[in-house]
Copies of this chain bind each other. A is one copy, B any other.
Amino acid sequence: MKKINLFIIFISLFAINANAQSKQDSVTIKHIYDKELTDGRCYGWLDTLSNQIGGRLSGSPQAAKAVEWAQKLMQQQGFDKVFVQEVMVPHWVRGDKEVGKFSYGVKKDKQTVTAHICALGGSIGTGDKGIEAEVVEVHNFDELKKLGKENVQGKIVFFNRPFDPTLINTFAAYGGAVDQRGGGANEAAKLGAVAVVVRSMTDASDYVPHTGAMHYQDGVAKIPAAAISTKDADALGANLKAGTVSFYLKMNCATLDSVKSYNVIAQTNGSEHPERIISVGGHLDSWDTGDGADDDGSGVVQSLDALRILRLSGIRPKNTIRAVFFMNEENGLRGGTKYSDLATKNHETHIAGIETDRGSFQPIAFSINRSGDTLSKLKSWLPLFEPYGIWNIQHDDGGVDFIPLSQKGVPSLELVPEDQRYFDYHHSPLDTYDKVNKRELELGAAALASLIYLIDEYGL
């Protein structure tokens, strides 16, 4: 009995201690949020990046300008160390505004309709004359294969599978449709198609085309690939039900020689374990048709403000903390790969890589690519975040830029915001600064700073 009583006392003391600890953490986190919401800088930084530099596709003059801006900004903030990592990035250029139109009806009654299209990133051009061919519509690769060479040869394949609207998570809907954009050109080329037109990756119904990466497969003919707005895709699909439709597209996009660019990194040195690193980051590059405020201007400014606000809150981290502005997430992942390569080369010890690349909206969760004890530990911190709207810990892949590092066993986490509006703007001219809400952006920065604080304090 005595033993049991002692055990109970021990457990009680442990609980009291855990409670006191949790209370102290809750005070610290409140302090971080208060600081960020009253003295946040990320929204102002995003203004400069979005409105004065703008869209910054890898290899572009704007991307170079963004690297310079980021480095200067980090230096002004007086972090312990500011440095860059050189990385060669692809240099794809869109060229002139793309032309798309489709025609239907018999000779005399032939109707021609303008279609809002844009080249997919990485696509070859059509040549100055453009390409015109009959359209064949499919919704997935199986349908395409069933059509076979006899029905595809010489034609333009139109991929028209929409987002599944019943999926509550729009990233799941995106995941269920994006194979058309990434691999559609390859699959169509294998059957002799001359080009592909892909329904834009969005659940919005409008006339805005959404770009994004596509990839050519070795040994397969390269054919031009364009995105078409969802309203045009619906109209094209409707006309195809009534009869033959031909599509004309002209694009003079091209891939030029690779260009030297940089990851840009700010660092706060660890007070106890400077050799151990916690990284938080997003990507500095963006697509070119908007100003990249949401994807992922918001992520880089949140990362840097998280570091800044930790320092302002008087928190001296035990481990080294880095804010990493990755280059070339959108069409190459060269920055993420370089970061991982250098980690190995320099024998760095990485505790965690935390990404913020899912938009600037109200944060509702963190994701982590770990299960078991690490996931449980993260879940045990949830009550600390609920007052700020973060109510869920998801087991997920983690952030894209940290994939190379995570493949070496480093836990990969990600800030998960509300996602209903994300694909309305994603990779399109609508991804602009005015879509970002100051408080939502700051709540994200504070959430990241708080998560870094907990990982620094208690590990994963």
Contact status of A387 and B33, CB under 8 A, knowing A421-B437, A437-B424 = no
What distance in Å separates the Cβ of A327 from its nearest Cβ neighbour in chain B? 30
Q: How many copies are assembled?
A: 2
For chain A residues 307-365, which have a beta carbon within 8 Å of chain B? 362, 364
Residue in A392, A438, A439, A440 whose Cβ sees the most chain B Cβ within 10 Å:
A439
Give Cα A440–Cα B438 distance, bound, in whole angstroms.
20
With contact pairs A166-B33, A168-B33, A418-B418 given, residues A389 and B362 touching in the complex (Cβ less than 8 Å)? no
For A392, the chain B residues whose CB sits under 8 A away are 391
Is there an interface contact between B388 and A391, defined as CB atoms closer than 8 Å? no
Set of chain B residues within 8 Å of A438, measured between Cβ atoms = 204-205
**Residues of B with C-beta under 8 A to A424:** 437
Cβ contacts under 8 Å, A98 to chain B = none
> Given the interface contacts A421-B440, A439-B420, does A38 sit within 8 Å of B165 by beta carbon?
yes
User: Shortest CB–CB separation between residue A102 and chain B, in angstroms?
Assistant: 26
Once bound together, how far apart are the Cα atoms of A205 and B437, in whole Å? 11
A168 with B203: CB separation less than 8 A: no
Within 8 A of B (CB), among A164-218: 165-166, 168, 170, 203-205
- Smallest CB–CB gap between A436 and chain B, Å? 10
Q: Are A439 and B37 neighbours in the complex by a CB distance under 8 Å?
A: no
For residue A33, which residues in chain B have a CB less than 8 angstroms away from its CB? 166, 168
In the assembled complex, the Cα of A38 lies from the Cα of B389 at a distance in Å of 28
Q: How far is the CB of A438 from chain B (nearest CB, A)?
A: 7
A397 within 8 A of B: no
Q: Closest residue to A421 on the B side, CB-wise?
A: B437
CA distance A389 to B364 in the complex (A): 9
**Chain B residues with CB below 8 A from A25, complex form:** none
A411-441 toward B: CB 8 Å interface, digit per residue (1/0)?
0000000101100100000000000011110
**Interface: A93 (CB within 8 A):** no
- Among residues of B, the one whose C-beta sits closest to the C-beta of A439 is B420
A234 at interface by CB-CB < 8 Å? no
Q: A134 interface residue, CB < 8 Å from B?
A: no
Q: Is the CB of B440 within 8 A of A37?
A: no
Provided the pairs A203-B439, A439-B203 are in contact, do residues A388 and B168 lie with their beta carbons within 8 angstroms?
A: yes
Q: How far is the CB of A426 from chain B (nearest CB, A)?
A: 14
Contact across chains for A168 and B38 when beta carbons are under 8 A apart: no
Q: Does B37 lie within 8 Å of A166, measured CB to CB?
A: yes
B residues less than 8 Å from A170 (CB atoms): 439
Residues of B within 8 A of A362 (CB): 362, 418, 420
Of the listed residues A166, A204, A388, the one surrounded by the most CB atoms of chain B closer than 10 A to its CB is: A166
8 Å CB interface, A1-44 against B: 33-34, 37-38
**Residue A443 at the chain B interface, CB threshold 8 Å:** yes
Interface residues of A in 37-56 (CB under 8 A from B): 37-38
Distance in angstroms between the alpha carbons of A437 and B389 in the assembled complex: 20
Chain B residues with CB under 8 A of A388: 168
A382: shortest Cβ distance to chain B, in Å? Answer: 11
Q: Which of A34, A165, A421, A437 has the most CB of B within 10 A?
A: A165
CB contacts (< 8 Å) of A387 on chain B: these are 168
How far apart are the CA atoms of A364 and B439 in the complex, in Å? 17
Q: Are B389 and A168 within 8 A (Cβ)?
A: yes
> In the complex, what distance in Å separates the CA atom of A34 from the CA atom of B439?
32
| 14 A-B contacts (beta carbon < 8 Å) | A33-B168, A34-B166, A37-B166, A38-B166, A168-B387, A168-B443, A170-B439, A362-B362, A364-B364, A364-B389, A391-B392, A420-B440, A421-B437, A424-B437
Q: Which 9 A-B pairs have the closest CB atoms?
A: A391-B391, A37-B165, A34-B166, A420-B439, A420-B440, A421-B437, A362-B418, A37-B166, A362-B420
16 extra A-B contacts, CB within 8 A, seeds A34-B166, A362-B420: A33-B166, A38-B165, A38-B166, A165-B439, A168-B443, A170-B439, A204-B438, A205-B438, A362-B362, A362-B418, A364-B364, A391-B392, A420-B439, A420-B443, A421-B437, A424-B437
